[in-house]
Chains A and B, each alone.
Chain A
Amino acid sequence: MTEAALEARGIVAGYIKGLPILSDVSVTAREAAITVIIGPNGAGKSTLIKAIAGLVPVSSGQVRLAGQDITNPRPDTLGRMGIAYVPQSDNIFRSLTIRQNLDLVLRHAGSDATARRDELMQQFPDLAEKQRDKAGTLSGGQRQFLAVAMALAVKPRVILMDEPSAGLSPRASQEVLEHARVLADGGVTILLVEQNVKQALRLSDHAYILADGRNQINGPAAELLDDPVVGQIYLGGKRMGTA
């Protein structure tokens, strides 16, 4: 078994004091693998990602990156720690050009910025063509790729992705998820929240099911894919009782 790159233990978190959305969640993302979090609406999946990224205050529990405690980080320091976060929607700056979007995340890179930008442009030829266009003019799939490119700009060890396939056509979402697979195979740790359960499970290594702000089931993604209980939850739409 591979090493734990990112670990969240006993997370209690929420927007309002005394009203936690996550009441006790533990998740481990293994290195160079895709870990997916699934669960019904309102289970707290996005909140978990945001809590790890420091966007929702964690009132109890611990987040560790390669063994180091990073609970409640200041969001602007994520990049320096080697973590990138791709929000669900509004994950690019529409009023800036594609190039400016990238320059923004690259501005700490100093003299390497131009080189890094060229690398990214080679990786995403679709974006390279439209460098000087406003990001707001991109299609849904292209936007998602720009968001991923912005995340990759800082060469992260860990990428947190919040429903990257939301609002995309089946083809575009497949492409985005396949790209995540390529990244993971290249050594990046990915923690993913997905609604698109089957597709996500197929491409992931490990999966967690969350409901009512708590862990329910976890295991290798392939096993969960064939698990009749998981099928029942999602196909029957029935909600699980709290553990």
Chain B
Amino acid sequence: MIGVISYLVFFTTVASILAIAVLGLNLQWGNTGLFNGGVVAFFGAGAYATLILGGTPQADHLGGFELFYPLALLGGMLAAGLLAWLVGVLTLRLRHDYLAIATFGVAVAFETLMRNAEGLAGGAKGLRGFERPLREALGDGFTYNLVFLAFVLTLLIVVYVFLGRLIRSPFGRMLRAIREDEVAAKSLGKSPSRVRLTAFVTGSVIMGLAGGLYATFYAFISPQDVLPILTFQIWAMLIVGGAGNNAGAVLGTFIIWGGWTASGWALSRFAPIEAQLYTGTVQFILIGMIIVGMLMWRPQGLLPERLVVSQSGKPENKHKTGSRR
């Protein structure tokens, strides 16, 4: 019984961390209409920076500044934000798909850098030497995990409430206005690329927070944790839950993460030995089919965005491609 509960605590912790990242993506995609094809880079930046800043000194790589944990976590968020700012400044004034390509590229470059730069982050071996905060007081066992879960849940709620307020604020209305009709928003004297940059950086900072928490939980991070599939998973979570709806984002996270772990377990348990090598392959196909299927049949997700149509009767949808059949 304690085994089940302890597994549930573990599952909920990871899912809640991912939910924070999905909320960050929701601000970018759901509310602002920005396509981030490299979620994992911002998640990874947060994770690596948190461990480098908060870890103990190591002989073979940078780090070990032993910063006070909350500062290390903030440092992780800052790193993710800086990375986002760099990409955003260069791409957000261009055609929409430049951002998609650049973010996709930043994720590839990030993984490559982490895999090769041993002096920076331990290379393929990953980053060690991190002491989980309060470990001396709480130990390594169930109690620690329970307290950590409470900490993660608190942050999830904080992010959730923060984003809820943000979206209802004038800034949030501006985001939707820009998403729906950039030209109109521009004519109201607002600078769409500035507003989009703010939203993009904010969303990425939230992803950085999720990465920092993830790295804290495992007290370890390696290039294997920043593979492109994580981006796909986070996207699947958002599109299943409902882009534009924060409750949907959290719901989608639990559904997809539950499905992912369950399918992994089932395949490892019931699939023939020779097929085990292809567990990941099958799971990747499933994730891809979920993304494509949702876009084709239920693009609004399980919990659609709740809002009043901002402009009723506006004839042409600007986002529609010109090449209708």
1/0 per position for B298-317, CB-CB distance to A under 8 A? 00000000000000110111
Chain B CB within 8 A of A16 CB = yes
1/0 per position for A209-220, CB-CB distance to B under 8 A? 000000000000
> Residues of B contacting A15 with CB < 8 Å?
315-317
1/0 per position for A20-56, CB-CB distance to B under 8 A? 0100000000000000000000000001000000000
Instruction: Name the CB-closest residue of A to B316.
Output: A15
A25 to chain B, nearest CB (A): 16
Chain B CB within 8 A of A164 CB = no
> Residues of A contacting B315 with CB < 8 Å?
14-16, 21, 47
> Residues of B contacting A14 with CB < 8 Å?
315
> Residues of B contacting A19 with CB < 8 Å?
312-313
Instruction: Name the CB-closest residue of B to A56.
Output: B315
B217 to chain A, nearest CB (A): 47
Instruction: Name the CB-closest residue of B to A14.
Output: B315
Give A101 to B316 CA distance when docked, in angstroms.
27
Give A64 to B312 CA distance when docked, in angstroms.
32
> Residues of A contacting B313 with CB < 8 Å?
16, 19
1/0 per position for B183-197, CB-CB distance to A under 8 A? 000000000000000
Give A11 to B72 CA distance when docked, in angstroms.
66
B317 to chain A, nearest CB (A): 8
Give A47 to B313 CA distance when docked, in angstroms.
14
Instruction: Name the CB-closest residue of B to A47.
Output: B315
Give A16 to B313 CA distance when docked, in angstroms.
8
> Residues of B contacting A47 with CB < 8 Å?
315
Pick the most buried of B312, B313, B316: most chain A CB atoms within 10 A of its CB: B313
Pick the most buried of A14, A16, A19, A47: most chain B CB atoms within 10 A of its CB: A16
Give A21 to B316 CA distance when docked, in angstroms.
12
Give A111 to B317 CA distance when docked, in angstroms.
41
> Residues of B contacting A21 with CB < 8 Å?
315
Interface set, chain A 140-187, CB cutoff 8 A to B: none
Give A15 to B317 CA distance when docked, in angstroms.
9
B313 to chain A, nearest CB (A): 5
> Residues of A contacting B317 with CB < 8 Å?
15
Instruction: Name the CB-closest residue of B to A20.
Output: B313
B303 to chain A, nearest CB (A): 23
Interface set, chain B 282-325, CB cutoff 8 A to A: 312-313, 315-317
B181 to chain A, nearest CB (A): 14
Instruction: Name the CB-closest residue of A to B320.
Output: A15
A87 to chain B, nearest CB (A): 13
Give A38 to B217 CA distance when docked, in angstroms.
70
Give A14 to B316 CA distance when docked, in angstroms.
10
Instruction: Name the CB-closest residue of B to A15.
Output: B315
> Residues of A contacting B312 with CB < 8 Å?
19
A141 to chain B, nearest CB (A): 27
Interfacial residues, chain A to chain B (CB-CB below 8 A): 14-16, 19, 21, 47
Interfacial residues, chain B to chain A (CB-CB below 8 A): 312-313, 315-317
Given A15-B316, A16-B313, A47-B315, 7 new contacts (CB under 8 A): A14-B315, A15-B315, A15-B317, A16-B315, A19-B312, A19-B313, A21-B315
- Top 3 nearest A-B pairs by Cβ distance? A15-B315, A19-B313, A15-B316
Between A and B, 10 residue pairs with Cβ closer than 8 Å are A14-B315, A15-B315, A15-B316, A15-B317, A16-B313, A16-B315, A19-B312, A19-B313, A21-B315, A47-B315
